Structure 1
Amino acid sequence: MKMPTTLIWGLVWGAAWMHGTSYNPLVKLISKLKIDYYYDDGNPLYFTEFGPAGPNFKAKNVADEFLDYLHYWIQKNPDGPDYSAEEHIRKFVGQHELITDDERIWAPEALRIVESTLGLALGEISSRFLNDMLPPQRDLYVKGGYDRVVHHVAQPVRDLPGVLKLRHVVQNIEWSRSRGASPVSVHAHGPDGKPVVFDGDAIVVTVPLGVLHQNKIMFEPSIPKSIAMGMSRTSYGTLGKVFFEFTDVFWSKQNDNLVYFPTPATLDEDSEKNKYPVLSYSFTATNLWVMTGAKKLCILLSPPVVYEIESMGGNPDELFAYFEPLLELFRSEPYKSLPKMVDAKVTSWTKDEFAGNGTYSTAKVGDDPRILWDALEAEKDLRLQFAGEHCSRTGTGCVHGAYETGEVAADNISRILGRE
């Protein structure tokens, strides 16, 4: 599994949260490793381009009601059509007799808060699997990132001389060899570019789903049809992050997150979206001042804007110019100018082939991730095992989901080899 969690500029660039903390097996390492943490699920501040939404902005409540309604709708329509989340919530609010006209037009925009979580635009998201793909609660921010967790879990392997091979690019996996040869053979290129072969009795493939989608690794024989079908029916999403540091904190020092909702199309005449493109998209800004004491904001990016922002190549001035209208909305004292920006940085996962040009699995309209999950269970006796967040029913997109599927794959292999 590729889990970029490097600390750059004092910031966590990759995995930063633990989810499902009531049962997440990695949570127990928080106390054991004395890791500093913060539950960042306090009340957020909501904004529109017209200013703070205020305490009675109930369109977000209507969006939450829609998520609850989806459970009921799926139960009543198990074979019904798979609408996009955007189309489905518009049907929902159109039939809702008890909400105001303002809530009716703003609720679909409020639902866009899930875009960065699923790594998709609202019009792409499968409403049938929307709730299944949302991370379980609660959200715990791991200060300093997952490095210490990863190093602790990997230590038994790191202690074995010559076992861990880094910076090797896998090209081909033979996983069912016979005639006296080792059952599994992995063909790769080492750090020097020279070919190298590793033989073994079984293999766990943990590369990102996006890499598998692009056929970067060839399998001999081919991946079982049921697993291949499951992978093709599970999409790969894209999350990005842009970080801003300023000489002073101009946003709320109390709220964990600042959330911006774009103006509905029916109000376009009053909007400045055409003048300032940043106002056309939904953003969640993580308040790093509250979490770490740094004068920094982390703004989460989702499609389609993530591609545009990451293509800027980390030019601080260009990033600031694009986001300035949004940052001005976040000011606690709107009559004051923005303080001087110290620096700005952005991720580049859309351009990272080893990340699969994205971040984690998701569900577009027409997908069915259950096909993959069921196939992995049915094929649990193979020497070829798969693990990673995309293989998890309950931790999709989460580090603990990847971790747990790795344990399952290891148990399967132990059982298989124990029979011999």
Structure 2
Amino acid sequence: MANLAPTLRLSSLLSRPSSFARTSLQLQRAARRRWTASQQLGKAAQSGTCGIPIKATQKRWAATVTPTTPHAKEIAPTSTSPHDEHDVKPYKPPTTGMLAQLPRSWVPYAELMRLDKPAGTYYLFLPCLFSTLLAAPLATPIAPPSSVIGTSLLFFTGAFIMRGAGCTVNDLWDRNLDPRVARTRLRPIARGAISVQQAIPFLGVQLLAGLALLLQLPYQCFFYATPSLLFVATYPLAKRVTNYPQFVLGLTFSWGAFMGFPALGIDLLSNTPALVSAACLYGSCVAWTIVYDMIYAYQDIRDDAKAGIKSIALAQEANAKAFLTAISALQVALLAGAGAAIGASPVFYVGTCGGAAATLGYMIGKVNLQSVEDCWAWFRKGAWFTGGAISLGLAGEYLAWYMGWYGHEGTSQNDAVVPVENS
């Protein structure tokens, strides 16, 4: 038997696959994995589900597969998302709400406009409403409620259109950044549902609709509104160059603080008190934008850090609530300045300034900046929580003047100052 041992060892060695054969088997298995991955990627593109996760072992090979559609990079954002694989969810067409009622081909465009997320429209509209209510008592004669309501409705429609246009501009600029952030990776351009060549004409239609609406207001409004387009176009670039892009967003979203005055026939360039009041209101709205959008930015703080996106949430992470409190105090102070410039009554200070201070303080105290859901909830509520308090205070001030509490009924605030002082 001892003589057979060398023979058995030799036979065993001969029966093993050579290194060449083992390499060949590995290549065959790798080819089968690549084929399986490519088939899954192709099915995802054809079915429109674009975000179906691929097993970790297959996902590495999927990156080497030749794209099967013109937007394959956007269709497979799983390879660029900084989140773990289990955090990535596939896109699902809406089954409830307004978007579910639209034809399927319209849904990506409605999502591009954020039709299902109206909070941004409210935030763009509210500075217009503030300035309309603030300017109404200054008009000569004082603006009637029908004019205030009609002007406000035009501003709301314009805010709806221009907010959608702003979102289109933002998504065009961010089409390579959005796939790297969990909250934005399924936006229409980022996931490939709308191409750049489709988005640009759609933006043109939105801007033309906005222009048509603007022409329904007094012609002076056109000259006041036009400079805001510069901020609309450049805001998305701010997050690439500064840690405080919310300041630039505030310059954009707060422009309506000037618009109510010319809309009601008040020339800011020839009326110094009105100009100072409008400037203070604009500054107050810029501060407010920093507050609510900083809370909004905390939803993406983890992804922004990994993707290299600048953010106020990252810059002020160590003292977030102290910073929010300081900016809110500035907002209330500028509101008070807007009232002082035009000789506002106690109704203004109690309703507008007091309401803003109370709601901002409550929100900052309650919001949990470590919770994505809580940040989103307070961002949504803040529009009509703080914005509603300011609006009610301004409406009370307007009605006080319109009802003649500080002079003759229906007398302009500018005209009524003299008789009140001489009485």
State the TM bucket, normalised to the shorter chain. under 0.3
TM-score, scaled relative to structure 2 = 0.23
TM-score, scaled relative to structure 1 = 0.23
Bigger proportion of residues as strand: 1
Bigger proportion of residues as helix: 2
Larger Rg: 2
